[in-house]
Amino acid sequence: MSCFRPVDVENTNKTNTTHISLFQSSTQTISDNEFPTKPAFIADAIGWEGNRAHSVWRWLDEHTVVFHEKNFEDCKPYYASDFVFVKSTGEVITDEAVGAFHSQYALFDSFFHEPVYSTIVATDDGHRLMGSARLFVNLLTPNRLEGGVEEEGKKHVDMHGRKWDYVGQAVFFDAVTDPASPHGRQFTQMQAYMDPLHILASAVERSVIPAEVVLAG
């Protein structure tokens, strides 16, 4: 077992002196070349354009274009038959998981995923994407259901300058390579991390959803 001990590093300039606590290994038990590695692609470009260099991102972008239009039926070929959805509460859904995932967007009049950072790691049967994206949403309201759009009160702005009701963090996913599928890959798992409480509270306030439904869920 490696033993770690704190080391004080002094950084001195003309105006101040800063002490930084670091950790230094007193023994080296594993060489950097002694454990297996997998190819990885790290993307820290905000938005879709800077990430399309990787084929997984191009595939994800293709799916997202359809998803943003709420064409959920057309999205189904992107999901594996054993797809798993993990809600932000930690609940794991295996039965009708695709429908359960899509239902998370039922309260939104419109929405937009804005990628911020991701790491794509090659696996034996596909890829795992771990990262974060901003999810901008507009809630349904009686006015919007009648065709009107309310701009007042929107204070969250996406990369294209559009205003939204709310913004939060989106999902992580795993995908497998499947040459037999229409798009060459399929999602095997989605995991949501966005806290929905402030959105649900606003939906109740706007009479989009009854409070009893929120309390029962």
Pairing of strands 171-177, 185-192: antiparallel
SS3 92: strand
Place of tokens 């002490």: 19
| Residues 137 and 166 sit within 8 Å (Cβ to Cβ) | yes
C-alpha span between 61 and 18 (Å, rounded):
45
Determine the average pLDDT of the residues in 79-101: 92
Q: Which helix (H) or strand (E) holds 101?
A: helix 97-103
Q: What is the structure's pLDDT at 26?
A: 46
Read off the pLDDT of each residue in 48-73 and give the average, rounded to a whole number. Answer: 84
Side-chain-side CA neighbours of 105 within 13 Å: the count stands at 21
Measured CA to CA, the distance from residue 71 to residue 59 in angstroms comes to 16
User: Can you name the CATH fold of 40-216?
Assistant: Nuclear Transport Factor 2; Chain: A, (3.10.450)
Q: How far apart are the first and last CA of the chain?
A: 47
pLDDT confidence bin for 108, thresholds 50/70/90: confident
What is the per-residue pLDDT across 76-88, written as a single tens digit (0 to 9) for each? 999 999 999 998 8
Residue spans per domain, the chain: 40-216
Q: Would you place residue 16 in the very low, low, confident or very high pLDDT band (cuts 50, 70, 90)?
A: very low
Q: Is the dihedral of CA 30, 33, 36, 39 positive or negative?
A: positive
188-202: buried (b, 16+ CB within 10 Å) or exposed (e) per residue? Answer: bbbbbebebeebbeb
Tell me the pTM: 0.71
